[in-house]
Amino acid sequence: MVDLLIKNGQLVDGTGTPAIKMDIAISDGKIVDMAPVLKMESEQIIDASGLIVCPGFIDIHSHTDATIIVNPRAESKIRQGVTTEVVGNCGMSAAPLTQKFMPDLKDHLTINSDFGAMETLGDSWQTFGEYIDYLNALPLGINMMPLVGFGTLRSAVMGHKVDVPSAEEMAEMEHLLEQSLDAGAAGLSTGLEYVPESFAKTEELIQLCKVVARKDKLYATHMRSEAQTLFPAVEEAIQTAEESGCRLQISHLKLGGEFNWGKTKKLFDLLENAVERGVRLSWDQYPYTAWGTGLVDYIPAWVTKSGHEELVRLLQDPSTRKKIRAEIDAEIETGDHAFNTASWDNVQIAMIRSKENKHLMGRRIADIAEERGVDPFDFIFDLLIAEKGMVKTLVFCMDETDIMTILQHPQTIISSDARAVATYGELSKGSPHPRYYGAFPRILGKYVREEKLMTLETAIKKMTSMPAKIMGLDTRGTIAPGMIADITIFNPDTVIDMASFENPHQYSRGIEKVIMAGTIVIDQGKHSGKMMGQII
């Protein structure tokens, strides 16, 4: 007698080997037997005829750090077949925190990311170990592996200071990082396009990454640029890994801006040459032509560096506002501004907090400015004042051909760059990026079935065993006896993402069942309410 028996399915085991008909027996949360035909009794039997049985997907780049507290079911992710997420990416993690710089930490996380649960941040934990303990005490709908965010780390030690850290501040950052890694953090992440991290020098990164290397953890970087200075940013990431000796994961690899389109060969030459030199390097990608970011990206960093109250004051002052506009115009003239990557026709408002401006969500900035008869920059300045800097946008600036070329590279891992949300409650607000709901089924439906860009086996390998290897998950990522029974079962003929940029709050289709540690969590589109997640 076994706890669960999956029969008649086509097994895609995550290694890239061809699909094969296989029955799978599960007991005590683990796979105990596999064979083309298993004749044994079970408390539960799943008939997977016509369906694909594969490992639960591992999202190596996610942002569910705090939304898991708002809604622990992680509905938009588990319904994609994702069973494990790596969180704390882009330099933004929920710990470590310090009371001394708590306002600065909250500013960092709210201005740069719709982090969630900001009102209670710091009430229940400060150290990374306390954060992990807090999560472990919750019912969790998904497995999580948290990283330490460099922006959080730097803010906890230096607040809004933009200076090179003193020897004492550097030592404190190293101490907090080591303490966090010892408490269970999976590595260090950076978001080098965002304040305050954008002020950090390469030497600062190398010094911290030496701690990461010593602990044999991961360095995941949202690089300093993904557009105008993309290639120097790649070189900096490689230099950081090479000189520190750490393992490097480049987050959401892309070619932003039309001036970069078609330069995938140049990009891969840089990456492949580094790998040949012995740099332990990998990268991930989400399958969309728009990225999501804050509207503050369109104003100078010095305006945002001291937090939302100072941002509002500077934008309200007529002379300072004139100075800001002159600086922006000069950068546009030299091609160095975010506007050169994506004009207002290609920037869509995604998230706004105030009731007065919520009607703007889902609309392009060019259309709003034209409708109101105002200059687009005057509009965004006024909007940032009204929203205290907290406006999230979708920026359409990537080429579909490049997306497909990057996807096809054998070393590209699939990710979402999204937090878990839901179609109900607090997390149903706003007009978020459709990747929140659809990244993984989009690969299976659009790029495997429709575009035939890669085999199903290859796509699943990019979602399972490849990220598992990077994260050191020895008991997840493949289906074999002795492995933890995190399993996704889907219909290869119907699986597809439903979320769109116009209507993002839609769960994907075709994910028939999701099993975590041998327990059925998603069954024919319904959540069982069983919470099997844990902190890994």
Whether residue 358 sits in one domain with residue 304: yes
Beta bridge partners of 368: none
Q: Is residue 244, in this structure, part of any structural domain at all?
A: no
Task: Find the domain containing 305 and state its range.
Answer: 295-394
Whether residue 481 sits in one domain with residue 449: no
Q: Which residues of the chain have pLDDT under 70?
A: 111-120
Cis-peptide into 18, omega within 30 deg? no
Whether residue 152 sits in one domain with residue 88: yes
Q: What is the side-by-side order of every strand in the sheet holding 148-149?
A: 148-149, 187-191, 218-222, 247-250, 281-285, 412-414
Whether residue 120 sits in one domain with residue 63: yes
| R_g of the chain, CA atoms, integer Å | 23
Q: Are 231 and 267 in contact (CB under 8 A)?
A: yes
Q: Are 477 and 489 in contact (CB under 8 A)?
A: no
Q: H or E stretch including 491?
A: none
Place of tokens 């840089």: 270
**What is the separation, in whole angstroms, between the first and last Cα of the chain?**
29
Angle at 410 between CA 407 and CA 415, to 5 degrees: 45
3-state class (DSSP) for residue 115:
coil
Domain of 129, CATH number, reads 3.20.20.140
Q: Are 234 and 267 in contact (CB under 8 A)?
A: yes
Q: Is residue 382, in this structure, part of any structural domain at all?
A: yes
Q: Which two tokens stand for residue 54?
A: 């594969």
Rounded Cα–Cα distance for residues 427 and 114 (Å):
11
Helix locations, 282-408, DSSP H? 301-304, 308-316, 318-334, 338-341, 365-372, 376-386, 400-408
Place of tokens 């769960």: 507
Q: Are 72 and 60 in contact (CB under 8 A)?
A: no
Q: Is residue 308, in this structure, part of any structural domain at all?
A: yes
Pick the closest to residue 286 from 166, 463, 107 (CA basis): 463
Q: Are 101 and 153 in contact (CB under 8 A)?
A: no
Whether residue 303 sits in one domain with residue 318: yes
* Cα 515 from chain centroid (whole Å): 22
Whether residue 319 sits in one domain with residue 431: no
pLDDT at position 108 is 72
Q: Is residue 239, in this structure, part of any structural domain at all?
A: no
Q: Are 437 and 507 in contact (CB under 8 A)?
A: yes
Whether residue 62 sits in one domain with residue 197: yes
Q: Are 78 and 38 in contact (CB under 8 A)?
A: no
pLDDT at position 225 is 95
Pick the closest to residue 396 from 337, 335, 342, 349 (CA basis): 342
Q: Are 476 and 145 in contact (CB under 8 A)?
A: no
Place of tokens 């060019």: 366
DSSP 38: -
Whether residue 92 sits in one domain with residue 63: yes
* Cα 446 from chain centroid (whole Å): 21
Exposed, middle or buried: residue 382 (CB in 10 Å: 0-12, 13-18, 19+)? Answer: middle
Q: Is residue 282, in this structure, part of any structural domain at all?
A: no
Place of tokens 């769109």: 500
Rounded Cα–Cα distance for residues 466 and 144 (Å):
17
Mind listing the pLDDT tens digit for each residue in 348-404?
A: 999 898 889 999 999 999 999 999 999 999 999 999 999 988 899 999 999 999 999
Q: Which residues are within 8 A (CB) of 520 and not within 5 positions of it... i.e. 6 or more apart?
A: 4, 44, 46, 513, 514, 528, 530
DSSP 229: T
Q: Which residues are within 8 A (CB) of 494 and not within 5 positions of it... i.e. 6 or more apart?
A: 509, 510
Please give the model's pTM, rounded to 2 decimal places: 0.95
pLDDT at position 290 is 96
pLDDT at position 112 is 61
Q: Which residues are within 8 A (CB) of 313 and not within 5 positions of it... i.e. 6 or more apart?
A: none
**Where among 363, 394, 425 does a domain terminate?**
394
Q: Are 9 and 22 in contact (CB under 8 A)?
A: yes
Q: Is residue 465, in this structure, part of any structural domain at all?
A: yes
Whether residue 198 sits in one domain with residue 82: yes
pLDDT at position 422 is 97
Whether residue 95 sits in one domain with residue 200: yes
DSSP string for 257-312? SGGGTT-HHHHHHHHHHHHHTT--EEEEE-S-SEEEEEGGGGS-HHHHTT-HHHHH
* Cα 377 from chain centroid (whole Å): 29
Q: Are 151 and 192 in contact (CB under 8 A)?
A: no
Q: Are 91 and 63 in contact (CB under 8 A)?
A: no
Rounded Cα–Cα distance for residues 112 and 536 (Å):
26
pLDDT at position 505 is 97
Q: Is residue 17, in this structure, part of any structural domain at all?
A: yes
Mind listing the pLDDT tens digit for each residue in 242-272?
A: 999 999 999 999 999 999 999 999 999 999 9
Number of structural domains, the chain? Answer: 3
Whether residue 212 sits in one domain with residue 63: yes
Q: Is residue 266, in this structure, part of any structural domain at all?
A: no
DSSP 448: I
Domain of 19, CATH number, reads 2.30.40.10
Whether residue 217 sits in one domain with residue 68: yes
Exposed, middle or buried: residue 36 (CB in 10 Å: 0-12, 13-18, 19+)? Answer: exposed
Rounded Cα–Cα distance for residues 146 and 85 (Å):
8
